[in-house]
Chain A
Amino acid sequence: MPPYLPVELLLPIFTQIRDEPDSLLFPNLNLFSCSLVCRFWYQCAFPLLLEGNNLYLNRDINKHTNLQLRRLADLMTESKRYGLSHAMLVEWVEIVVSKLFVPRLHTKGLDRRRIGMIDRLLRALQPQLNIIGLNLEGISKPNEIRNLHDIVSKLLPSLDSVATLRITHLSSFPPLEPKGLLCTFKPFASSSSKSPPIPPPHPILPLIQRLAPTLQHLHLTSAKLTPPILQTLRACPNIRTTRFHRISYKVTPTDFADTVAAWPNLQHLSILHPETYIPLGETIALLASSRPTLQTLDLDNSGAQEPDSVYHNLRTLLHHSALTLTSLTLPAPSNVPGPATSPETSNALFAFLVTLPLPNLDTLDLSLLGETLTSAPMVDTSPTSSATPLPWPSLRRLDTAGCSALSPAFLRAVITDCPRLEVVRTSFIHREYDEVQTVLTEGGFVRRENRGEWVGMGQPWVKYRPGSYRGFVGFDAYGY
């Protein structure tokens, strides 16, 4: 029998290999197994693994049965033992905590076997794995919190190299808030002079504390932000990215501002879609004085009452970050009755913005300015105009939904001056919608149906360009 198969025979075999019954599992465990047979097979199979790589495991780790998860952990462990590169196939792992419970007689118990497999997998992925996600949806009862303590304690040693932590559905429950149930109940025999027992910290807090030396990127989504969390986050000196999306803020604006200002290396600050109002005036003021070089600045203060000085400090902050800024979401102006609520305030900020050179700006979201943004007096696109072109040469995405009074002349100027513009989101309740449509159509844009994240968020228009995917630039990126 010939001992080895040549590459022209290995490739037909490898392309036929599927993981049944779910061929969408990643990585393809059978192909992964083949890649560990010998060096030659590794060289043939690994490029195929890379081709089929989705670059994340978050979707699949929860679909894996315990058997599949054990096999994946075995293979990844073997790969690590040989010093091979399979760990690079996994960009990040998300752990859905609710999937780690198994039904018991009257309650849910921990699936310790599965937790052990995840622990082995995470250890095998070290030190390449630097993104970990924790989905805490449905974890709110005391026994679930206790179990979460166990899970975090078990996995903590496997997470030493994690630089990015993504937490979703962090709900508020007793251990997070000192005034909760645990503090209300007092033991029968305790003396009145003794203070009530201090509840243990929420299991997420020791996790953040453990990661503090390496943590650079923090994403909190659909979570409640409380003082203990802020206090813990302040002790993370290397934070560069923070994303607070769909957050319920149970903290004071001052506490929040102090925390953000405690990160000297901050480059990305994204606050979007708040569930409760958070004024950002103090945050902007502190950032303006600390002069960070930001790349992302998304300041969604929807519904909050801002101090009048919010735009003054914002101008200073934008000026400091002008050369590095790639994404900008402008906050709403103050809604406190007074001069700051007038359209002149928004327009004054806008007048400043259109003259500010932002060479790397990729995304500009004006939607929070709403109908207070009415004009762009310095924008004149007439052929005889001597106005300076908009200094945003890299702009690809512009969001003006909600800006129902924005001058169509501004859109025309953006289309003329920003050659990379691919997507414009506008409002179909715009007061001059007919003209807006004309401007966009003449600029080579095609209206797309609302889909996915765009639903209810205005009307997307996409640049049509023959030769690009389906003729539309940005088609993939925006889920059309």
Chain B
Amino acid sequence: MSDPANITLVTMDGTTFTVPSAYLHRSKLVQDWLRSEGDKQAMEVKHVTPFVLQGVLNFCEIHAEDTSEPLADPADPTKPFEADPRDDAFRGMPDDQLLQFTMAADILQIPELVRLTAQEMASRIDGKSPDQIRAMFNPDDLAEEDVDSDNEMGEVGEEGAISK
């Protein structure tokens, strides 16, 4: 059985990270895992690279002692976002990395990190055309079979760029 004070996370390539469980008290996924499967040796975090998981854990460590009420919904418009200088590392990273952090935050169910990355993405969208946003989020790998040619909104792919 693992040490209850610490938790070990295993990334997609088998890299392990052991951190105090308290760091991850805002992760709903981890909390649920601790309750149901806490007797296991390590928790697998598939689809997350070591680099990204390290960044997520850094965020969790920085905010481990925050006393603010947990955020229930990162899309809640009634909770205004307040920039925290401790999170500046997320502001300078490339678009694709930011996207990966957003996905990892979603996988680990950390609403505060989801909102932070979402806010940063929103600020990067400011003033951009649809083409520029497409380039940011790279929805250009649309496979032919994904195209829904019989849709009611013109030549629009199911999840791909709107065809011109």
Contact = CB atoms under 8 A, between A and B. Distances in A.
Residue from the set A17, A20, A38 with the largest chain B CB neighbour count within 10 Å:
A38
B75 A11 contact: yes
B70 to A, nearest CB: 15
B154 A13 contact: no
A12 interface: yes
Interface string B91-130: 0000010011011001000000011001101110111111
A78 interface: yes
A37 interface: yes
Interface string A1-31: 1111110110111111111100000000010
Contacts of A18: 122, 126
A4 B159 contact: yes
A455 to B, nearest CB: 34
Nearest to A85: B153
B77 A15 contact: yes
Nearest to A51: B77
B12 interface: no
A411 to B, nearest CB: 43
Interface residues of A, number: 34
Interface in A270-324: none
Nearest to B163: A82
B33 interface: no
B145 interface: no
B122 A16 contact: yes
B28 to A, nearest CB: 12
Contacts of B122: 13-14, 16-18, 30
B100 A33 contact: no
B81 A83 contact: no
Contacts of B125: 13, 17, 30, 33-34
B129 A33 contact: yes
Contact of B151 (A14, A16, A37, A39): A39
B112 to A, nearest CB: 11
A84 B152 CA distance: 9
B153 A83 contact: yes
Given A8-B106, A20-B126, A78-B130, A15 B158 contact: no
Nearest to A40: B159
B127 A3 contact: no
15 contacts: A4-B137, A5-B137, A9-B103, A9-B114, A9-B118, A12-B118, A15-B75, A30-B122, A30-B125, A34-B133, A37-B139, A38-B159, A39-B151, A81-B164, A82-B156
